[in-house]
Every structure is written in C-alpha cells, then in structure tokens.
Amino acid sequence: MTHESHRVQMARSLGRLLKGFQSLTSLPAMRAQRSHPSACVPCRTTVALPSLFSFKPRDFSLPNSSWSSEMMRLYDHYNSQCEVEAERGETRGGPWQRLPSYNRSLKYATGGVYLSKIIQSRARLFTRNIREPGAAFEYVLFVNKEEQRCVCIFQAGHLLEGPPGHVHGGAIATMIDNVTGTHATVLSGPVMTANLNINYRSPVPLGSTVLIESSLDTKEGRKTFISCKVTSTDGSKLHTEATALFLSINVSHLLRGG
Ligand SMILES: CCCCCCCC(=O)SCCNC(=O)CCNC(=O)[C@H](O)C(C)(C)COP(=O)(O)OP(=O)(O)OC[C@H]1O[C@@H](n2cnc3c(N)ncnc32)[C@H](O)[C@@H]1OP(=O)(O)O
C-alpha cells in the first residue's frame, strides 16, 4: 500500500471516529447511572454511548462523593429537564441533554493500525486526568439544542489554585475552551479553536461551584462563533466573559499535524 493510500485510510478511520463523537448528542436516550450517596431524585436519562466504544468506560460527568450540595442541586435541576425514557422504550421530556465525558475517548475506538498512529497510550484528556475526586476539574455539561446553548456546572478543586484562595486564570481558560469547544463540536462537527478572547472580571473562589454558559453567536461557512460567560450559580456575579472562534477541520488536518 502506498503512503498516500495509508493516509487516506487513516483519515477515513478518524472521520468515522469524529462523526461518532458528534452523534453523541443525537443518539436515543438511555438511563443514567448515579453514584452520589445523597442522590435521591428519580433517574433521568442521558445520551447513549457511541457504537465505536468497545466497552463501557467511566463517565466522569456523573456525580461523585466530592460534589458539593450546590453542584448536586444544579445537576438535579438540569437533569430533571433532560429527555427521559418512558414506557415501551419511548422517550419524552425536556430540552436538555447531559453530555457524557471520558478521559480518553480514542482508547475505546476500534480504528486499527491507522488510528494507532495518533493514539498515544499514555494520553489523557487534560481536564479528566486527576484521579482524586474533587481535586481539580469537576464538571458536567448539558446541551440545549433548540436554544443552541450549553451550560456547564463547574466545581474548581484545590489543585487549580492561582492567586491564593482563587482559581488560576489558565484553569478558567481551559474550562472555557472545553465548554465552547464541545458546544462547537455539537453544532458543527470536528473543529479546532482558532481564537479565544477572555476578560477576567472577578476572581473565582477555589472550591466554589460556578456556571459556564455558552451560546452560538453565528455560523459562517467553516467558522463557528461562540460567546461564553462564567457566573456565580445565582447569576448575580460575573466572573469571566469570552468569545471564541472555531474552524471546522477536515480530519486529515490532524493527521498532517496541522
Ligand atoms: C472534548 C474536549 C473538547 C475540547 C475542545 C478543545 C479545542 C482545542 O483546544 S483545539 C487546540 C487549540 N487549537 C489549535 O491548536 C489550532 C491551531 N491552529 C490551526 O490548526 C489552524 O490555524 C486552524 C485549523 C485553526 C485554521 O487553519 P485553516 O483551516 O488552514 O484555516 P485558514 O485557511 O488559515 O483560515 C480560514 C478562515 O478562518 C480565518 N481564521 C483563521 N484563524 C483565525 C484566527 N485565529 N482568528 C480569526 N480568524 C481566523 C481566516 O482568516 C480565514 O478566513 P476567510 O475564509 O474569511 O478568509
């Protein structure tokens, strides 16, 4: 096989994989797991795992024992407005969908030798690579497709300190990139961040729970423009504002190394 046909086949495998990621939000709902000891509201549903996963990896967006009562309250608030499984496999319900979250989606893909060229065995998603629950990034994303917006409930752990007692600006930027990037992927398929503008308005206390809300401004060809704000959970305090530009990419962009 020539180098060129190797490359084309690799691009096809990766294309299938990234399509699988985008379809996360359009697959039928299935019952969510709950692991929080204080959880008492009825189980709602989440989107199903894509078929490209060969087994069921841990879903980091589900509650764990480190989640504060405020984090749980908000989780229950949005989860109760998610699509729910009704009788006879039918679904009904709310406008929101919870997005599952894994620490290394590519590991679970079946892509053969071609994908192995970009899968690094020790690679982990930046925001999901600390084992201790609650130590760093605890978050869950919900998407509202009708309103083309996303909300993330984020609890910042002690390893994210920047100024004493407060969250590092880079950690906030990471979460903004993560939330707007996921939102852009839901809206437009495979994308990369081209531009991110951030205004830090007030510091985020370490250990606090905040809301990160992302909304679509406009789509123009390959460009998806998104706005984002980080606020206290009651909305009274604005912590951070951002705008982001994402460019749709052909998967061969990643194989070429940009
Ligand atoms: C599950 C977890 C989700 C997490 C999501 C996280 C997302 C990320 O962090 S991605 C990592 C960070 N981003 C990167 O590394 C990207 C690096 N940059 C690149 O690869 C490329 O520059 C890329 C793909 C953005 C654009 O390259 P390319 O596709 O060749 O576009 P290019 O032809 O230069 O430009 C296309 C258009 O976009 C515009 N454009 C490109 N870059 C910018 C920019 N930075 N600002 C404004 N406009 C831009 C161009 O002006 C052009 O506009 P027009 O068509 O109107 O003339």
DSSP calls for 163-179: STTBB-HHHHHHHHHHH
Where do the domains of the chain lie?
Answer: 3-255
Say how many Å lie between the CA of residue 89 and the centre of ligand 1. 41
Nearest CA to ligand 1 atom 12: 193
For residue 245 and ligand 1, the question of a CB distance below 6 A is answered with yes
Nearest CA to ligand 1 atom 40: 194
pLDDT (tens, 9 = 90+) of the chain, 258 residues, equals 455 555 555 555 555 545 544 544 443 333 333 334 333 333 354 444 444 545 678 899 999 999 999 999 999 999 999 977 777 777 777 899 999 999 876 655 555 555 656 667 788 899 999 989 999 999 999 999 899 999 999 999 999 999 999 999 999 999 999 999 999 999 999 999 999 999 999 999 999 999 999 999 999 999 999 999 999 999 999 999 999 999 999 877 776 766
What own/partner pairs with CB < 8 Å and gap ≥ 24 does 171-176 have?
171/137, 172/198, 172/200, 172/204, 172/230, 172/239, 172/240, 173/198, 174/126, 174/127, 174/137, 175/127, 175/137, 175/139, 175/212, 175/230, 176/212, 176/228, 176/230, 176/240, 176/242, 176/244
Say how many Å lie between the CA of residue 60 and the centre of ligand 1. 28
Which ligand 1 atom minimizes the distance to the CA of 177? 6
Cβ 191 vs Cβ 184: under 8 Å: yes
Chain-centre distance of CA 198, in angstroms?
A: 19
Cβ 190 vs Cβ 22: under 8 Å: yes
Task: Place domain 3-255 in its CATH homologous superfamily.
Answer: Hotdog Thioesterase (3.10.129.10)
Residue 177 annotated in active site: yes
Cβ 156 vs Cβ 210: under 8 Å: yes
Instruction: State how far the Cα of 77 lies from the Cα of 97, in Å rounded to an integer.
Output: 12
Say how many Å lie between the CA of residue 69 and the centre of ligand 1. 39
